Amino acid sequence: GAVVSQHPSRVICKSGTSVKIECRSLDFQATTMFWYRQFPKQSLMLMATSNEGSKATYEQGVEKDKFLINHASLTLSTLTVTSAHPEDSSFYICSASLDTQYFGPGTRLTVL
Amino acid sequence: GQQLNQSPQSMFIQEGEDVSMNCTSSSIFNTWLWYKQDPGEGPVLLIALYKAGELTSNGRLTAQFGTTRKDSFLNISASIPSDVGIYFCAGSRNDYKLSFGAGTTVTVRA
């Protein structure tokens, strides 16, 4: 149990375009999901907390207009990277909260 | 979130060895978690600890929640090649946000 999926697993896009990443809890409902970013050889850094039916809470330094989060149902949260630039290239990982946090497999974003 | 102090940063293991890693914090956590991450994958939960002093095992893995609630350790007994990867400790308080350690990279010694 407690399986979390992400789609796509990897995406390459041109600078200036927007990219949407989906996070789904497959076998449980999650009122709260989290979005992390991980750079090579570094730890996970929390970007935002996604709450079903309400606005996301962003960590300090994370631009809410650039990283749009929507948590429209108890099993789906989406992260949209708007007007992506090469510095946004990273590994984005979501987690869904049950008794603790269970992580998705991650999405590798490369912005050319 | 606040970074935890995780050590060692890296270690080389020989098959059959016992290995240990730990995390410390300057502040108290209510929950300690240990995750393993393979390259290109998301972290996988290994052990969750909810009470100070709790000692929990999961197969060859054993972890303890320190009595001060400011530290935790993870032991791997009789290591095998598939134990290689990056191990992260994480702590949370009442808001369910996780603070992560920097990770311990485990590599097999040639």
Instruction: Note the pLDDT tens digit of each residue in B55-104.
Output: 999 999 999 999 999 999 999 999 999 999 999 999 998 778 899 999 99
Helix (H, G, I), strand (E, B) or coil at A40: coil
- The mean pLDDT of chain B is 93
Read off the pLDDT of residues B24-60 as tens digits, 9 standing for 90 and up: 999 999 999 999 999 999 999 999 999 999 999 999 9
Average pLDDT of the residues in A20-40: 95
Q: Which pLDDT score, from 0 to 100, does residue A20 have? A: 98
CA B40 to chain centre: 19
Chain A residue with minimum CA distance to B2: A45
Q: Which pLDDT score, from 0 to 100, does residue B36 have? A: 97
Q: Which pLDDT score, from 0 to 100, does residue B1 have? A: 53
Nearest beta carbon to residue A100 from set B3, B44, B48: B48
On chain B, the residues whose CB falls within 8 A of the CB of A106 are 40-42
Higher local confidence (pLDDT), A93 or A54: A93
Residue B2 has pLDDT above 60, yes or no: no
**What gap in Å lies between CA A34 and CA A55, rounded to an integer?**
13
Q: List CB contacts of A111: < 8 A, sequence separation 6 or more.
A: A12, A13, A14, A15, A84, A85, A86, A87, A88, A89
On chain A, the residues whose CB falls within 8 A of the CB of B48 are 99-100
Read off the pLDDT of residues A32-89 as tens digits, 9 standing for 90 and up: 999 999 999 899 999 999 998 889 999 999 999 999 999 989 999 999 999 999 999 9
Which of B98, B99, B104, B105 best tests the A interface by mutation, with the highest count of A CBs <10 A? B98
Q: Which pLDDT score, from 0 to 100, does residue B110 have? A: 66
Query: Is-contact B44 A101, C-beta < 8 A?
Result: no
* Diameter of chain A measured on Cα atoms: 39
Residue B5 has pLDDT above 90, yes or no: yes
Q: How many CB pairs under 8 A join A and B?
A: 52
Q: Which pLDDT score, from 0 to 100, does residue A99 have? A: 86
**Planar angle of CA A77, B89, B79, nearest 5 degrees:** 115
